[in-house]
Amino acid sequence: MGKLFFTSESRADAACARSAGQMGAARRVACLLLPFVLLCLCGCEKQPETKSKMLDGPLDTVSTITLYDWSGGEEPIDEIFEMLGDIDSRMSSVSLTSEPAAISAGAGSPVAVSQDTFGLIRYAQTVSAETGGAFDITVRPVVFLWGVGTENARVPAQTEIDAVRQAVGYDRVSLDETALSVALADTGMQLDLGGIAKGYACDRAVEILRNAKVGHAIIDMGGNIYACGTKPDGSPWRVGVKSPLVGENGHFGIVSAADRAVVTSGVYERFFETDGKLYHHIMDPRTGRPVDNALLSVTIISESSTQADALSTACFVLGAERGLEYLETLPGVEGIFVGEDLRVWISSGLRDSFQMADKRFALVGDDEEG
């Protein structure tokens, strides 16, 4: 099955790419530039159709859909935003009326859910099993305790952390395929689809574009990019992998991609600082604390955005060595790991399609010890 933006050969194209994942005024300016810049660089006959919208739930991002060389109107984009709004409200971990909230409230008993939520939870469970619980959608009590990205963000006492850790355990989630129900074993357990829902929503958006016969498009959901088809000239899209350095908006590397999701999990997305230490939003379910393993970001490239989203979070928790080992067992899935010392590890399948674009970052070579 990254946090990035797509680029072409030039800085101008990188600016387009950023239109998706970045903030405020810069994003709006990039959006305005987008049609013009790509018109010049891609040799498109037609102006791209582009639309952005803010979503507040687990998607929690401005999503931008851009269709290139397309004369079929805005209908597929409107359909995508309608679908995204639906997923946002049904899969939110914050809203009290979402399906994860209903499962959490009903902990101890089975709760029936929609088919897609059931399928997503079942897939999340597979990733949990494959990663020894590095990815765990029952991590919600830990996420809530730390409150990263909310006004309640704080470093909790060890006793509080120990208490919530008891409520975490993917192996205490039961799924009933026939009843399409999900049961958390104990009261106090809670679900959080924040590490995977955006990827799923992105796959659904791709499906809508394919059904509409859109051949060239970029979906940018703030760090979850999907490069649909190729560029209008038939060459692969060039997706810029965002610099994980806090406060920087540029990219440090470029991936060539066609019909691929490029999804990044990084410390820079949501964090707070106390006593000079940064606490981010990716939790280690075993310690009940933000992962502290000298990584800054992990980017996964896969045909499935759902998989790329789950694995970017999972591999961040696993760390570079175990994460790469895991990825090498999965055909068609690639990864880029960036350490605090700006060393970059890539999986073997990326050797011909990843390019470093920032001299401060150093690719770890085959002959070098990881």
Q: Does 285 bind ligand AMP (CB under 6 A)?
A: yes
> How near is the Cβ of 305 to Mg ion at its closest, in Å?
10
Return the percent helix, strand and coil in the chain, to nearest 5: 35, 25, 40
Site for ligand AMP (CB under 6 A): how many residues? 18
223/229 with CB nearer Mg ion: 223
**Where along the sequence are the contacts to Mg ion (CB under 5 A)?**
195, 309, 312-313
Query: ∠ CA 246-250-253 to the nearest 5 degrees?
Result: 105
Residue from the set 243, 265, 297, 347 that interacts with ligand AMP by CB under 6 A: 265
Residue from the set 313, 337, 344, 350 that interacts with ligand AMP by CB under 6 A: 313
77/84 with CB nearer ligand AMP: 84
Q: Does 253 bind ligand AMP (CB under 6 A)?
A: no
Instruction: Give which of ligand AMP, Mg ion, none residue 118 binds (C-beta under 5 to 8 Å, depending on kind).
Output: none
d(CA 110, CA 180): 9
Interface positions, 121-150, toward ligand AMP (CB under 6 A): 135-137, 139, 143
> How near is the Cβ of 30 to ligand AMP at its closest, in Å?
22
User: Would you state the structure tokens that stand for residue 90, as one six-digit string?
Assistant: 């049904």
208/314 with CB nearer Mg ion: 314
Instruction: Give which of ligand AMP, Mg ion, none residue 255 binds (C-beta under 5 to 8 Å, depending on kind).
Output: none
User: Would you state the structure tokens that stand for residue 168, as one six-digit string?
Assistant: 């975490």
What is the torsion angle, in degrees rounded to the nearest 10, for the CA atoms of residue 339, residue 340, residue 342 and residue 344? Answer: 0
> How near is the Cβ of 222 to ligand AMP at its closest, in Å?
9
Residue from the set 317, 320, 327, 333 that interacts with ligand AMP by CB under 6 A: 317
Strands (E), the chain: 4-7, 49-55, 61-67, 110-112, 173-176, 181-184, 216-221, 224-229, 237-242, 251-257, 260-266, 271-274, 277-280, 283-284, 289-290, 295-302, 334-339, 343-346, 354-356, 362-363
Closest to 5 in 3D by CA, of 205, 226, 239, 230: 239
Strands (E), 230-364: 237-242, 251-257, 260-266, 271-274, 277-280, 283-284, 289-290, 295-302, 334-339, 343-346, 354-356, 362-363
Instruction: Give which of Mg ion, ligand AMP, none residue 13 binds (C-beta under 5 to 8 Å, depending on kind).
Output: none
Instruction: Give which of ligand AMP, Mg ion, none residue 76 binds (C-beta under 5 to 8 Å, depending on kind).
Output: none
135/272 with CB nearer ligand AMP: 135
Residues that bind ligand AMP (CB under 6 A): 135-137, 139, 143, 192, 194-195, 265, 269, 281-283, 285, 309, 312-313, 317
